[in-house]
Amino acid sequence: MPTVAITLSSPTDLQNAKYINMLREHGFGIKVIDDERFARGNATEAEEIELLDGVQAVIAAGERYSRSVIEALPELRVVARLGVGFDRVDIPAATSNDLVVTITPNSNHEAVSEHAMSLMLATAKSIHVRDKNVREDRWTSSPSIPLRGQTLGIIGLGRIGRDMAVRAGAFRMNILAVEPMVNVTFNQANNIENVEMDTLLENSDFVSLHCDLSEATEGLIDYAKLQLMKNSAILINTARGGLIVEDDLIKALQTKEILGAGLDVFESEPCRSDHPFYDMENVVLSPHMAGTDHLSLEEMGIEAAQCIIDLYKGNWPGQCVVNGDLKKGWDW
C-alpha cells in the first residue's frame, strides 16, 4: 500500500487525529514529517526531496513543490494541500508529471474569516496597545473606531470573502466588493455592492483581501493603490503576503496614508527580526495561522485524507482538484 507523508505545521495528537486514523484504516502507511522549516517552505530543495523520498502522497502544509522537486520524486502521485492556496506548487510541472494537486475548499473558510474579523476588531480598537498600557499601569483611554455603520471593502468573494461578508453584516457594516464572478443572489441577500477596485479603495473604511495570489494579483496593493485609500482606513490581509508590496505598505503606514493594518501573511515568512512592522503600534500581526483553529485543522485533515482515499479508489474528488486536466486517463 502507498505511504502518505504528513507535514506537521502545528502540534498534533497523532494517535487521535481522525484523518490519520482514516488513512490507516484504509491501509495506507504513514510517514510524519515534523520539521518546521520544511512545513513553512524554508527547507532547501535537496532537503525537501530527501524528506519526501519514497512516499506516494502527502498531506501538505506550506512546503514548496518546484519543478525540480516534483521531477525528483517520480513516485509521488498526490499533493493534498491543507487550505485553499496552491501558489507554492508548480501546477504546470505537477500536471506534466501526472501529479494530482488537491485543496480543501470546504474546511477552513470560517476560521479565516473569523481571524480576519479578529484582526479588524483588534486594529480598530487598538486592543494590543490598550492591553500593554493597562499592564504597565497606564490607565489612559481614547475613543476607538466603530465597525457599525462603517464600510468594509472585500477584495475576492470566494468562500472566505462571502463568509466575511456575512459576519460583517452582523456588525451592521456596509459592504463593497470586487469580484469578477458576481453571485447576484448572494450579493442581493447580503446588501453587497460590486464595484471597481479604485472605487472600493476610495470609499472603504476597512479593506480585507480574500483573493488568490497569481501573476495577475501579485503586488495588487502597491503605493498608488494605498494612496487611494482613506487616511482613516485599515487594511486586513489573511490571504497571501505577495498581494501587497510590503515596502509600500510600510511607507504608507509611516506617512499616515492609511491608519493601520492587521496582517496574518507576509512577503517572506517568518519575518526578519528587525522588520519595521515590529515597531508600529498601528499594526496587529499574527504568524500565518488564520485558517488553523482546532476545528478547521481537523476538518482540513479529513478532507485532504478523503481526497487521497478517493483517488486511490479511482474516484475523482472534482471540486478539490486544482489540475483537473489530469482526470482523463489518470490512474494511481
Would you name the residues annotated as active-site residues?
Answer: 240, 269, 288
| Number of helices and strands in the chain (H, E) | 13, 12
Q: Note the residue count of the chain.
A: 332
Q: How many whole angstroms separate alpha carbon 52 and alpha carbon 8?
A: 13
- Kindly state the cell numbers that stand for 73: 520524486
Which residues make Cβ contacts (< 8 Å) with residue 134, sequence separation at least 6?
none
Cβ(36)–Cβ(61) under 8 Å? no
Q: Where are the beta strands (DSSP E) in the chain?
A: 3-7, 29-33, 57-60, 78-81, 100-102, 151-155, 174-178, 192-194, 206-209, 234-237, 260-263, 283-285
Q: How many whole angstroms separate alpha carbon 119 and alpha carbon 90?
A: 31
Q: How many whole angstroms separate alpha carbon 49 and alpha carbon 211?
A: 30
Q: 109-124 and 294-313 helices cross at what angle (nearest 10)?
A: 150
